[in-house]
Amino acid sequence: MENRVVVTGVGAVTPLGNDAKTFWEALLAGKSGVGMITAFDTTEYSAKIAAEVKDFNPEDYIDRKDVKRTDRFVQFAVAAAKMAVEDAGLEINEENSERIGVYIGSGIGGLGTMEDQIKILMEKGPRRISPFFVPMMIANMASGQASIALGAKGPNSAAITACASATHSIGDAFKIIQRGHADAMVTGGSEASIRPVAVAGFSNAKALSTRNDEPTRASRPFEKDRDGFVMGEGSGIIILESLEHAKKRGATILAEVVGYGMSADAYHVTQPAPGGEGAARAMNMAIADAKVKPEDISYINAHGTSTGYNDKFETMAIKKSLGDHAYNVAISSTKSMTGHLLGAAGGIEAIASVLALRDQIVPPTINYETPDPECDLDYVPNEARKMDVNVVMSNSLGFGGHNATLVFKKFVE
């Protein structure tokens, strides 16, 4: 018999605030976390805007000597993981550590470390490369370092599937508990890629918004005048537990995870499959896994990147998956406020999905001004909406044709 799996805690470091409460309040208020890039000089860059994490002090969560030995994406992950564990009231000790695991994904990993060390190599030679270079850079280290910081000795892994990394990580962690291989999992994603080489690469691929004169209005998913995504950074972590484990320790249950689906477009390295057929298959799989009907879906936290192809094809995918109900479901892209956190996006969007169920309100898609005839669904324009929220779907679609969908449900005994 499969275990029921519930969410008992959340932790976040985001462009809208460095804890889940601040993040959620900002989402509901329709605030934008986008501004001019401060991390480096953007004079020669076509895209000069991003959603940066502000006022984050890693020493609040990590010893000073270890801060120098960890990349920014790891620092975000450890901070968010510690906050999530605290929010869940989960004590990890010698008795239970082998039954508590960590599964935190990252699309790119320690890009800042790699960029800095390559510069040192070119300017000063190989002897000056840090001995900590490799463990600082590799993308699995958010999961590895979080497990060390927490003392969690259970299943440990990391999905590296571009912008689907966090959603795949959460889905895989859900299945680990469902199968009985762990009692609890600390799971989500982390990313810190607002760096010269990444901004240049995405800019030259014509993927980024160049609405530099209006940063807060640049990310506009599903809107006719969208011109590309805005890079974001941060980490979103949730605590999953078997229902039995959560009830035994008297945990507060925020929501239940009931479905997970994933698929491959097998089409193109960056463009979605025509008609969104790959994403539709992931949604169908998640709905079937959740044992709900398409018409049961109350709200979709869309991938919604603010790029031409993604928003059009995700809209088509939702119609393929939900049929006529697609026109009745509330859909929003919180990337309109956070920017696109790449491998961490699904982590903070899972938190938004869970808190929408808890508070019976869905966040808006901001900057929605001129409807796009090809994106003709209900995108909860500009203002949060109080409504009955019973079943929520969260989509993540990654370069390489990786599609992942989670289904969360309002918890009922």
- Looking at residue 413, its pLDDT comes to 86
**Which amino acid, residue 19?**
D
Question: Does residue 294 sit within a domain?
Answer: yes
pLDDT tens-digit readout, 181-204: 999 999 999 999 999 999 999 999
Question: Does residue 151 sit within a domain?
Answer: yes
DSSP states of 79-127 as a string? Answer: HHHHHHHHHHT----TTTGGGEEEEEE-SS-SHHHHHHHHHHHHHH-GG
d(CA 215, CA 96): 47
Does residue 238 sit in the same domain as residue 275? no
In the listed set 224, 248, 272, which residue is the last one of a domain according to the structure?
Answer: 248
In the listed set 196, 215, 248, which residue is the last one of a domain according to the structure?
Answer: 248
Residue tagged active-site, from 168, 245, 340, 402: 340
Does residue 240 contact residue 185 with C-beta atoms inside 8 Å? yes
Q: What is the 3-state secondary structure (H, E, C) of 367-380?
A: CCCCEECCECCCCC
Question: Does residue 165 sit within a domain?
Answer: yes
Report the pLDDT averaged over residues 114-132.
97
Does residue 158 sit in the same domain as residue 282? no
User: What CATH number is given to the structural domain containing 64?
Assistant: 3.40.47.10
Dihedrals phi, psi of 27, to nearest 5 degrees: -60, -50
Does residue 292 sit in the same domain as residue 393? yes
Report the pLDDT averaged over residues 138-166.
98
Q: Read off the pLDDT band of 411 (50, 70, 90).
A: very high
d(CA 301, CA 16): 17
* Domain housing 98: 5-248
d(CA 134, CA 220): 37
Residue tagged active-site, from 168, 245, 303, 402: 303
- Looking at residue 274, its pLDDT comes to 87
Question: Does residue 253 sit within a domain?
Answer: no
Instruction: Assess whether 340 carries a catalytic annotation.
Output: yes
Does residue 241 sit in the same domain as residue 271? no
Give the global pTM.
0.98
Does residue 306 sit in the same domain as residue 181? no
Task: Classify 67 as helix, strand or coil.
Answer: helix
Residue tagged active-site, from 163, 245, 375, 402: 163
Does residue 264 sit in the same domain as residue 387? yes
List the one residue out of 100, 303, 168 whose CA is nearest residue 158.
Answer: 168
pLDDT tens-digit readout, 54-100: 999 999 999 999 999 999 999 999 999 999 999 999 999 999 999 99
Does residue 38 sit in the same domain as residue 175? yes
Average pLDDT, the chain: 97
- Looking at residue 412, its pLDDT comes to 95
- Looking at residue 129, its pLDDT comes to 97
- Looking at residue 271, its pLDDT comes to 86
Would you say residue 375 has pLDDT above 90? yes
Give helix 111-124 / helix 196-204 axis angle, nearest 10°: 110
Would you say residue 354 has pLDDT above 90? yes
Q: Read off the pLDDT band of 272 (50, 70, 90).
A: confident
Does residue 215 sit in the same domain as residue 276? no
d(CA 165, CA 109): 11
Q: Which residues pair with 396 in a beta bridge?
A: 404
Does residue 241 sit in the same domain as residue 345? no
Question: Does residue 52 sit within a domain?
Answer: yes
Tokens representing residue 64 in the block: 């000073």
- Looking at residue 3, its pLDDT comes to 98
Number of domains forming the structure of the chain: 2
Does residue 175 sit in the same domain as residue 217? yes
Does residue 74 contact residue 148 with C-beta atoms inside 8 Å? no
Does residue 35 sit in the same domain as residue 131? yes
In the listed set 200, 219, 248, which residue is the last one of a domain according to the structure?
Answer: 248
pLDDT tens-digit readout, 232-267: 999 999 999 999 999 999 999 999 999 999 999 999
Instruction: Assess whether 303 carries a catalytic annotation.
Output: yes
Question: Does residue 297 sit within a domain?
Answer: yes
Question: Does residue 413 sit within a domain?
Answer: no
- Looking at residue 281, its pLDDT comes to 98
Question: Does residue 254 sit within a domain?
Answer: no
- Looking at residue 270, its pLDDT comes to 86
Does residue 237 sit in the same domain as residue 358? no
pLDDT tens-digit readout, 156-172: 999 999 999 999 999 99
